[in-house]
Structure 1
Amino acid sequence: MSRPRNPRAAALVVAAAAALAACADGGGGGAPTTEASPPGTATTAAPGEEPSLEFRGPNGEVPVPSTELTLSDEEVAEVREGGYTAAFVWHENSAFIQAVESGVRESFDELGIEVVASTSAEFDAAQQAANVETVMANAPDIIVTIAVDPTTAAEAFRPAVDQGVHIVVLTTPPAGYTAGEEIVGIVTGELTAYGRGAAEMLGEALDGRGEVGWIYHDADFWFTNQRDQAFKDWLAHLYPEIEIVAEAGFSDPARTEDIASAMLTQNPELSGLYVAWATAADGVLSALRAAGRPEVRVVTNDLDETMTLDMVGGGNVVGVVANSAVQTGRDLATMAAYGVLGKEAPQMAVTAPVPTTAENLAEGWEAEFAEELPADLRDAAGG
């Protein structure tokens, strides 16, 4: 099932050149490795201590900067001569995923890898299992995916594993699948830095005080779970006069409008909201407008046009943590090449995000989509 291309969400895939050097202003962090954290968790600070930017992957994978993914000219030529094919088995069809796929396709073109299918499950695990069956009819050499539900995906992708398909994962692998065995490896973002960036943008917008709500992803999704928690940890550490007075989780992004409406009714003094990602924040903005609450500040993750327009128009959104989506896509393609070459890949390659406000919008858009800010958004931003 093909999906329409979004020309603005051109090229991306979570990874990129940004080295994971320590960054005191909140954008980056030290190389994210730790011996203390259990698999799939971030290090949680004790009261009064600075939270850690270190983390591990869902199976204890040690992150490395995505700049370590490289191919020689000879390796590129070898891949091009292989006549390989690939398919996408996505969890949803967001602007972020479209940008990631655009980046993968760009690099696949350079590598001579033909895309034979692209599917979206819209967060339905059963649909993703059916999509695996559909793409396997095309006998791809490579599958690029992110699991909707890790447990269900473990069974759904088993036929691909058994047939020797090289599976490359964006963020979330099927349960029990390990790098170098069932999958080639994982490409994702430096998740604890997302949380710190969101906390800093909200804290600054609220002048360091106020009551806020936390709308988190209530599902077994290791990346969003840690990213959401990192926001809480950094907000408490950096802004002790800001209190999270309301918490609510969602598994279906379509429910966030109702969640936000209830939160606003029960907490009339609310001055800020954190939402797990941009698509889920759409419903939150609708709730704020319906309630006539233009003063409530919102931060979220994954820059898109809806969040950008609200932000530059002086709406509720004061900050969005941008990914490096197109580059992430390129890195996924490079990792796929490792697979077909039989070259050992890093377990998990990561990139630093870019906390984005109206002041550095052009930088954030470039990081997210690898293109200049479109003219209509520049006009809306007054530049």
Structure 2
Amino acid sequence: MTDAIAITTVPVNLGDRSYDILIGAGLIDQAGYEIAKRAKSVRVAIVSDETVAGLHLDRLTRSLTAARIDSTPILVAPGERSKGFTTLETVTNAILSARLERGDIVIAFGGGVIGDLAGFAAGIARRGMGFIQMPTSLLAQVDSSVGGKTGINTAHGKNLVGVFYQPQLVLADTDVLDTLTPREFRAGYAEVAKYGLIDRPDFFAWLEKNWRGIFDGGPERTEAIAVSCQSKADVVARDERETGDRALLNLGHTFGHALETATHYDSGRLVHGEGVAIGMVLAHQFSAKMNLASPDDAARVEAHLRQVGLPVSMGDIPGQLPSAGKLMDYIAQDKKVARGALTFILTRGIGQSFVAKDVPPSAVLSFLQEKHPI
């Protein structure tokens, strides 16, 4: 075991499938110890991308070896384009080729793409293996590593194929966030802000005052991650499979996913958190257009996200976007569509988001044409 480190624990309460989120600096070096405490005589596959592996894989492997856990690395190319059927097949075959058994563990060691991809592979390999999330991006630490959503993208849209599959443990090492590019960190921050905008107006106000400490790696960073994880854990405990208010976690995502599809998941143009940032601004602006909320709230959201350096409009995306009508086609493919009726997460103000069903497509199209008049 390594020297004791300060760990913040956030529980996810799901009955006999409950698990802990551990948050702390240096958790990669503690990973073997934490895993060995919870799982005896296991072997692991470490699914990671080449960038993360180059920075952190040796530390994780040493930690596992010290705990007498054999590991097999499985590396994929970085970026959203690895979230597809081809890479899923490669990862699944590598797990089987390593002769890992159902009781062994797949570790997702990377950002949101790796978590979604490796979690899906763990859920289908041998009809379900052990699964641990070790998120290395801010976005993954506060959002995608928690709650059991896994999946891949298709030509029809983002995350349309996948399974709900909960991890056994989440290990969020806050030290690794210092190796992110400023753009990656900002993209993750969009998901932090989302929790305030859903139902924690006091948290959003706190972020407006303390965001610099989060970016600079002060104690505010751990606090923001813990609050975000607790927010998501509370929602997941109430609605694991998104039949009710878990849909609130999709604030900004219906617009954002359409923009990601429109840019063909080209990270040079748009990454997920940036799409969410633009989507949250659009959701607040659309809510104001529908006379549900004050335009002042939309302006406040836009101002804060712009202040931290995030894109806030479709015009901030490099290159040409398809027409508003084509964006509507992408929205119609979204998972939040039921029997052709549009469902959006709208708001009555900061921290007052709600699930709006049967949103008129004509109103959405008119709004998109106003914001993107081509």
TM above 0.5, yes or no, is: no
Q: Given the two structures, how large is their TM-score scaled by the length of structure 1?
A: 0.35
Q: Given the two structures, how large is their TM-score scaled by the length of structure 2?
A: 0.36
Which protein, 1 or 2, shows the higher relative CO under an 8 Å CA cutoff with sep ≥ 6? 1
